[in-house]
Structures are given as structure tokens and as C-alpha cells.
Amino acid sequence: MRRSLPFLIIIVVVLTALVAGMVLFHYRTRPLARAVYGRPGAEPSHIRGDATAPVQLEEFGDFECLPCSLVWPVLEKLEHDYGKRLCVVFREHPLKIHRYALDAARAAEAAGLQGRFWEMHEALYRNRNTWVPAEYIGPYFNDYATELGLDLDRFTADIQGEEVARRIAADQDRGESLGIDRTPVIYVNGEQVSVTAHNEKGLAEVIDKALGKSPGTSGTGQ
């Protein structure tokens, strides 16, 4: 028994390494509809596209952030180009240096409680140059809510409600667990994307790599 003990130990170590490798591979390749890195964030998360898509792009954004507003149309273009192969997740990460960022996040989440998060997301970025310099933003957000056909009384109540506050806090907690201190921050299948790649060409190359394709072969083919 003593002679065979070293061999048993080696076998156990090898099997442990194999199991660990298989688990790691599983989490690296599975669709990331639920976060497998960092703390979880708000659930259900805001997902556009098929949650089982082979590539998930997760953005931590701030509606007052200028670079975020520039990334917004790029992501919409990529969603169109990649179709069912890509899903996009948005996480609230309003920065304290922006005076209206938290208010805008609340407006988006309040719209989300009525099933119109992405529509408010678009309205906030599209009209950023209007509400950011305003002295009082309430009327602007109410106007967007009205245009989207929301129940305005519920919207104004939800903005200050516990559910909206809880969702934003959960997303911020997720961001803090990942060391995020700026916006936008983008992950593709759990790997953080360099700021220099926050453009259509750069993100397409990252997505193609995640799909196992050669750079430059992206497009509308499904």
C-alpha cells in the first residue's frame, strides 16, 4: 500500500487538474447570460439580442458620459451586423463626477420597469446634448417617458422607488467588484476590451476572435 501511495497521489492530482480545466473551459465558452465573473449585478439584466448567443458584450455605461454616447451607435451597428451571434448587456455605472448621471440611470431603470429600458436608453443618448447642460432635467425625462407611451405617474414614482435604487446599486456593486472606475468599460465573453478598441473595427475584431473567425470576416452573414 505504501509503495502505491505516490501513484495514487499523482492520479488524484492529474484528475483534479483535468476537472478544473474542464470547468474553466465550460465557463470560458458558455453563453454569459448570467455573469460568471465579478459579483452578479441587477437581475434580470438588460439584454438585447439572444441570451444564448455565442458572444456576449457587456457594457458598463453612464448616460452623461460622452464616450459612452459615441459607443452607443457603434454597438447598435454591431448588433445589426452580427444578429443572433451577439447579445448586448448594459450595466448602470453612473459616475459621481457627472451631476445628472444618477438621475438618468434612474429614468432608464424606471422605464425598464414598464418594459421600455432600451427605448429610454436610446432617448437619453440621442438627446444627451439637450439634457446634460440643462438646469433642471425633470421635464426632459418626463417628455421622453411621454413619447415612449409610459404611465407618467408610475414613471415619476418609480424614479425615486426602491426597485430602481436596488437595481442601480446592484450594477454598481458588480462594477466595483471588477475594479471599474470609469466608463465605458466593455467586456466580450468575460474579457475586458482595451479602450483603443472601442470603435466599430476594434470591437468587430474582438467579436470575430470570440467567434473563432479571422479578423475582417465579420458581416451580416448569420
| pLDDT in the model for residue 37 | 81
Give tens-digit pLDDT for 3-19.
554 455 555 444 454 43
Can you give the C-alpha Rg of the chain in angstroms?
Answer: 21
| pLDDT in the model for residue 18 | 45
CA-CA distance, 157 to 107, in Å (whole number)?
A: 10
Give tens-digit pLDDT for 44-81.
999 999 999 999 999 999 999 999 999 999 999 999 99
Answer whether residue 27 shows pLDDT above 60.
no
> Model confidence at 22, in pLDDT bands (50, 70, 90)?
very low
> Model confidence at 33, in pLDDT bands (50, 70, 90)?
very low
CA-CA distance, 91 to 84, in Å (whole number)?
A: 21
Top-confidence residue, 34 or 142: 142
End-to-end CA distance of the chain: 59
